Amino acid sequence: MAKVIIALGNDISTDDIYPGRFMATVLPSETPQFAFSDRTEFNARLKAREFPAGSIIVGGENFGCGSSREQACSTLKGYEVTVVAKSISRIFLQNSINLGLRVVLCPGLEASEGDELEITGDQVLNTTTGKAFAQVRMPASRQGIMDAGGLIPYTRTLLKARG
């Protein structure tokens, strides 16, 4: 189980997640400090490492819309959070998979900040409210890349296995 650290609405753009004015900083080791910079209180809490790994960011429809900047994913990956959203924009979803950011698609999700969620193979259970919601499963190939920590670790594992 993990706690929802912020519940966001629909159409959360990559510019909200990682503002464009920080694009000069692209290293995954440096981008996390700019996560949700314009949401100053939340950003400060992230930087203070108030949330344990696996904490959940809840999004509505079209999470990660906007630009194709992968820094929006790497900034969240730096905090080891999980994004659970009703829908995720196509490019943000692929960037998340490639970088190993854990994302979960849950179209009917109802959750608020502070709720506890349990993610199983086919559902998301809000243990605070007692409601369960169907999860859209990733294809095995995409899930494998995400579980490996991203495309590079996944490819390394495949290459090592082939000798």
Non-local (6+) Cβ contacts of 55 within 8 A are 2, 3, 4, 5, 79, 81, 82
Domain ranges of the chain: 2-162
CA distance 32 to 45: 12
Q: Give residue 25's pLDDT.
A: 81
Q: Mean pLDDT of all residues in the chain?
A: 95
User: According to the CATH classification, is domain 2-162 in 3.20.19.10?
Assistant: yes
pLDDT of 27 > 90? The answer is no
Residues of the chain with pLDDT > 90, as a percent, come to 90
pLDDT of 163 > 80? The answer is no
* Mean pLDDT of the region 93-107: 97
